[in-house]
Structure 1
Amino acid sequence: MLDIKWIRDNPAALDAALAKRGASPLAQALIDLDEKRRAVIQTAQDMQSRRNAASKEVGAAMAAKNTDLAEKLKAEVSAIKDRLPAAEEEERQVTAELNDALARLPNIPFEDVPVGADEAGNVEKHRWGNRPAWNHKALEHYEIGEALGYMDFEAAAKIAGSRFTVLKGQLARLERALGQFMIDVHTQEHGYTEVHAPLLVRDDAMFGTGQLPKFSEDLFRTTDGRWLIPTAEVSLTNLVREEILEQEKLPLRFTALTPCFRSEAGSAGRDTRGMLRQHQFMKCELVSITDAESAVDEHERMTACAETILQRLGLHYRVMTLCTGDMGFGARKTYDLEVWLPGQDTFREISSCSVCGDFQGRRMNARYRGRDDKATKFVHTLNGSGTAVGRALIAVMENYLNADGTVTVPEALLPYMGGLTKIEKAA
């Protein structure tokens, strides 16, 4: 969430940032709404002040035995008392209207973020590795999985409908191995603290990380009003909500391996085959809580941590700096890691690492106290996939496919596979 004081002081900067994101100017409308809020607040305060003053004057008039004045003042107090609830309700309504408008504003991109309307405006930062060098035909993951007998979309559809997958046997083990490998690398080598956090969260948690109110259609809600997390970013980032942290304890780094749930409301017709875009999937999430000065360096560090996973798996990938039109709602800058999929003959996103500034900290009222300051500041937050487990499985299957239809297990995963070195057709 952006600060209305900053907007009042920097209206041109807000409108310029919105223009970069392809949105219309809003600064003046927000300032006008804030002026209305201030006027309503002032009216209510003036009424309260006059009521208090008139109440005292009643006592003075009574002491002076001026009955007529006392009665007149009593009538004034009564009239103010009758009007005050309406004024206070108007104040609540205007404040709620302003807060809702602010809550729907996207974050301000950093100056070095490329300007563009959509993914065509993204800029390649660097790439790693090479495409697999073999002569046999490349296949998509669902062709490989179904031929092996370990990937069952029909069974999933019977149980849950479209955009679900049943993994069995050796492929189920391979997916589990990928998740365990990721969480081990990030906790044992990268300094992240593993967290087992709720998969069901309240409105406040979703608001804190920016999913609500704008993106409710992308979420699943339970009958008791809780939400299924679309990413563990929600649970991990909200660990510090309404807290005041000491700067010397920052950064805090959290990771979790969890199921994630997304309605995919805006993806009708996209990636309908296979398990690239699912309602339920596993992801290893990375979250950092930092001070203002450390956030940019932490972004580079987090991205490198995610890259390590792909490098250890021997997967060819590239890092893209997302343009303003393709960047997420709460991000100030985002790097996408895109892994090479031979079956699709293209790169596909497997991780997004974003720095959000104090955007989420303000929404969560999460602050830190500087080493030499009594005043507090809002924390800066970062989040990234380290990485998406299902998409890593897809990449391993397509890149490690052998001519006979088997899939070689990457060396990094061997310690997790119980002696299994190759995924072979089910007996």
Structure 2
Amino acid sequence: MHDIRSVRTDAPAFDAALARRGLANPSEAILAVDTRLREVQTELQAALARRNSLSKDIGQARAKGDSETADALTAEVAALKTQVPALEEAERSLKLEIEALLAALPNLPADDVPDGPDETANVEVSRHGTLPSFDFAPLEHDHLAARLGYDAEAAAKIAGARFAVLSGPLARLHRALGQFMLDHQVSAGWQETAVPLLVRPEAAFGTGQLPKFEEDLFKTSDDRYLIPTAEVSLTNLVREQIVEDDSLPLRLTALTPCFRSEAGSAGRDTRGLIRQHQFEKVELVSICTPEQAEAEHAHMVACAEAILTALGLPYRKLLLCTGDMGFSARRTFDLEVWLPGQNAYREISSISWCGDFQGRRMNARLKTRGEKGTRGFVHTLNGSGLAVGRTLVAILENNQAADGSVAIPPVLHPYMAGITRLEPR
């Protein structure tokens, strides 16, 4: 969410920043409505002032016995009783129109974000780990998993496309991954949190899912939404609060199911576990001051990278360009894990700094202890640490053997009840 005052103060700079995200002169429509709003407000203030003045004038006229003047003034007051509510309704309507225009606009990109229309303009920052070599043609994960306990047909009968049924040691490995990731992040200082999976519309608005991306969400009959990520629930924990800066950063983590309609992804990743309607993910959220945000972004990226390193998975880090960033992000780093079956790197974590964009939408204000008033809005960051299903995919493809078995990374052995290898059925 943007501050109308920043648009009024420097519309050219506002337009230039959003032009980097492919938007042409958004300030024009906003300022046109804002001009009408201020005209209505001026007229309303004049009408209210006139009404107050007339009340005094009527009393003075009646005190002097001037009934003709008093009656004329009374008639004017009656006219204002109709005019003032109409002006108040016009003011309310124009404010909502401005809020809707501002709410539909993405965040302003940070200065160091590269310009570009799509993922082709993302910048590779670094690579880590050694790509595995095989003396056979490595399989993609869905072919491997089909012999290890993955049943796509059963899932389709139960729920339709883009769902999975896992069983036996493969299901245990999936559970082990989530537990390991959560334990790892808690040991790194993130506060484990159990959160609602259903949220009100205002919560989804606060993190930027609504109103623009409603089609990506699953909605219930009682006007709630299934979370697409625990970011929504975790970030909204400070909604409509005044947060004292000496209590920050607040680092939160949760392992939850996530639900996405995958609108617009028709034909992409239709097989296997890469892109599903329901999946599990360990989410990281940081609530901090503007001064802490840079360090928090680096820390969050490092915490996500640590999982990949512990699992022995090769990956690369990308700085996303303006055309590939999410709606609420000012800057985003993606971690992409190597999938030998696809002979490609694929996204496994996206870590974003949102500035005060979400804080403003949630009305989560920042206060310095001992000082009067607030000093703006909190900054928020979020990222995956990691997506469980995609990490399972990476383990299957990177640790596969010619006989179809898969070695389980040693750090997961304590979670596997003595199972160190998945064997084909």
User: Do both share a fold (TM > 0.5)?
Assistant: yes
SS, match of residue 147 in structure 1: coil
Q: Which residue of 1 aligns with 2:400?
A: 401
Q: Which residue of 1 aligns with 2:276?
A: 278
Aligned equivalents of 2:223 and 2:73: distance in 1?
49
Shift of 1:89: 1.2
SS, match of residue 220 in structure 1: coil
Q: Map Cα deviations across residues 216-251 of structure 1 (whole Å, 9 max, x no partner).
A: 011110000000000100000000011111111100
Q: Which residue of 1 aligns with 2:124?
A: 124
Aligned equivalents of 1:64 and 1:325: distance in 2?
73
Q: Map Cα deviations across residues 72-98 of structure 1 (whole Å, 9 max, x no partner).
A: 111111111012222111111111000
Q: Which residue of 2 aligns with 1:240?
A: 238
2:30 is the alignment partner of 1:17: no
2:384 is the alignment partner of 1:392: no
Aligned equivalents of 1:10 and 1:324: distance in 2?
21
Shift of 1:425: 2.5
SS, match of residue 347 in structure 2: strand
One-letter code aligned to 2:6: W
Aligned equivalents of 2:308 and 2:166: distance in 1?
22
Aligned equivalents of 1:216 and 1:252: distance in 2?
28
2:240 is the alignment partner of 1:254: no
Aligned equivalents of 1:372 and 1:89: distance in 2?
39
Q: Which residue of 1 aligns with 2:152?
A: 153
Q: Which residue of 1 aligns with 2:112?
A: 112
Q: Which residue of 2 aligns with 1:219?
A: 217
Q: 1:313 aligns with which of 311, 314, 319?
A: 311
Query: Where do 1:69-80 residues align within 5 Å?
Result: 69-80=69-80
Aligned equivalents of 1:414 and 1:420: distance in 2?
7
Q: Which residue of 2 aligns with 1:298?
A: 296
Shift of 1:366: 0.4
One-letter code aligned to 1:153: A
Q: Which residue of 1 aligns with 2:166?
A: 167
Aligned equivalents of 2:185 and 2:166: distance in 1?
25
SS, match of residue 116 in structure 1: coil
Q: Which residue of 2 aligns with 1:324?
A: 322
SS, match of residue 289 in structure 1: strand
Q: Which residue of 2 aligns with 1:208?
A: 206
SS, match of residue 254 in structure 1: strand
Aligned equivalents of 2:25 and 2:167: distance in 1?
52
One-letter code aligned to 1:16: A
Moved more, 44-53 or 103-112: 44-53
One-letter code aligned to 2:66: N
Q: Map Cα deviations across residues 106-130 of structure 1 (whole Å, 9 max, x no partner).
A: 1111111111110000000111001
One-letter code aligned to 1:82: T
Query: Considering only aligned residues, what root-mean-square deviation do their CA atoms show, in Å?
Result: 1.0
Aligned equivalents of 1:383 and 1:219: distance in 2?
18
Aligned equivalents of 2:189 and 2:64: distance in 1?
76
Aligned equivalents of 1:72 and 1:319: distance in 2?
76
Aligned equivalents of 1:208 and 1:16: distance in 2?
25
One-letter code aligned to 1:160: A
One-letter code aligned to 2:56: K
Aligned equivalents of 1:382 and 1:184: distance in 2?
20
Q: Map Cα deviations across residues 336-382 of structure 1 (whole Å, 9 max, x no partner).
A: 00000011110000000000000000000101212564231200000
One-letter code aligned to 1:80: L
Instruction: Mark the runs of 5 or more structure 1 residues left unpaired by the alignment.
Output: none
2:169 is the alignment partner of 1:181: no
Q: Which residue of 1 aligns with 2:367?
A: 369
Query: Where do 1:15-164 residues align within 5 Å?
Result: 15-148=15-148, 150-164=149-163
Aligned equivalents of 1:290 and 1:10: distance in 2?
27
Aligned equivalents of 1:14 and 1:373: distance in 2?
31
One-letter code aligned to 1:331: A
One-letter code aligned to 2:402: A
Q: Which residue of 2 aligns with 1:228?
A: 226
Q: Map Cα deviations across residues 11-66 of structure 1 (whole Å, 9 max, x no partner).
A: 12111111111111112321222121111122122212211221222111111111
Q: Which residue of 2 aligns with 1:423?
A: 422
Aligned equivalents of 1:242 and 1:332: distance in 2?
22
Aligned equivalents of 1:34 and 1:373: distance in 2?
33
- The number of aligned residues is 424
Aligned equivalents of 1:41 and 1:236: distance in 2?
38
Aligned equivalents of 2:43 and 2:423: distance in 1?
76
Aligned equivalents of 2:387 and 2:67: distance in 1?
79
Aligned equivalents of 1:83 and 1:23: distance in 2?
38
